[in-house]
Amino acid sequence: MGLLSLAVAGVIYRTGTRALYQLGGMSGRMPLTFFCTLIALIAMSGIPPLTGFGGKWLLYEGLIEKHWYPQAGLAFFSSALACLYLVRLLHAVFLGPPKPRYQEVREVPKWLLLPQLVLVGAILVFSLFPGYLVEPISDAVAPYYATTLQWAGNRVTTAGGHWNGFLVMNIIGAVFLAPLLRMLPSSIRGQRVKRFEIG
């Protein structure tokens, strides 16, 4: 949430508006802010492989273990609804056609960008090694609440399954990296377009 707040604050700082309908196409003007917003959206939406998925998975696991099925369903519905709102924010601000009035907008200053990049780094580290974050919390609450979490390196095991943040991060990274590397040479060379004769 802190990362998304900083990214949105940067957009407001540069554009001077909070109205979504006045924005669009800012990804080309503020690429690093766009990247930080995208990371925040993926993490907050609970989409693999970032930290939000592990946290929400453990939440659903705990609710189901307690047989609190209505609460688990409500939590899932709320998460899906929040994801839709975040996607709308991303599309309205960064995607779509750029507005002429913001042609001169540039990336936010370093003092506003640096905290975002630090938070992105923290998200990526805890996504690769979730035990660094979750295991101490699990140990702290263990005397007060019974827990079924079992840690073995980067892998956590519960009654509902296993989660290995390092493995999932690498698999999803490879899945997205392979098509990107395949598309890159053609985008660098450009594509030939046949001559179009009029008349």
Could you tell me which of 71, 4, 102 has the C-alpha nearest to residue 44? 4
- Identify whether 86 is part of a domain: yes
Gap between the Cα atoms of 54 and 46, Å rounded: 7
- Identify whether 116 is part of a domain: yes
- Please, what is the average pLDDT of the chain? 80
Q: How many residues does the chain have?
A: 199
- Identify whether 162 is part of a domain: yes
Gap between the Cα atoms of 179 and 65, Å rounded: 39
- Identify whether 198 is part of a domain: no
* Residues 102 and 26: beta-carbon distance below 8 Å: yes
Q: Is the pLDDT of residue 95 over 50?
A: yes
- Identify whether 193 is part of a domain: no
Counted domains in the chain: 1
- Identify whether 152 is part of a domain: yes
Q: Would you state the pLDDT for residue 163? A: 74
> The domain containing residue 89 runs over which residues?
2-186
pTM (2 decimals)? 0.75
- Identify whether 125 is part of a domain: yes
Query: What is the CA 165 to chain-centroid distance, rounded?
Result: 15
DSSP letter (8 states) at residue 161: E
Could you tell me which of 124, 119, 122, 157 has the C-alpha nearest to residue 138? 157
Phi-psi region at 39: left, alpha or beta (left = phi > 0; alpha = psi -120 to 50): alpha
Paired strand residues for 152: 155
Residue recorded with tokens 């290995």: 164
Name the band, by pLDDT with cuts 50, 70 and 90, for residue 196.
Answer: very low
Could you tell me which of 38, 30, 16, 13 has the C-alpha nearest to residue 91? 38
- Identify whether 51 is part of a domain: yes
Name the band, by pLDDT with cuts 50, 70 and 90, for residue 164.
Answer: confident
Residue 73, CB-side half-sphere exposure with 13 Å CA sphere: 4
- b/e per residue 5-37 (b: at least 16 CB within 10 A): ebbbebbeebbeeeeeeebbbbbebbeebbbbb
Q: Would you state the pLDDT for residue 126? A: 86
Report in angstroms the alpha-carbon separations of 196 from 10, 191, 193, 199: 43, 15, 9, 10
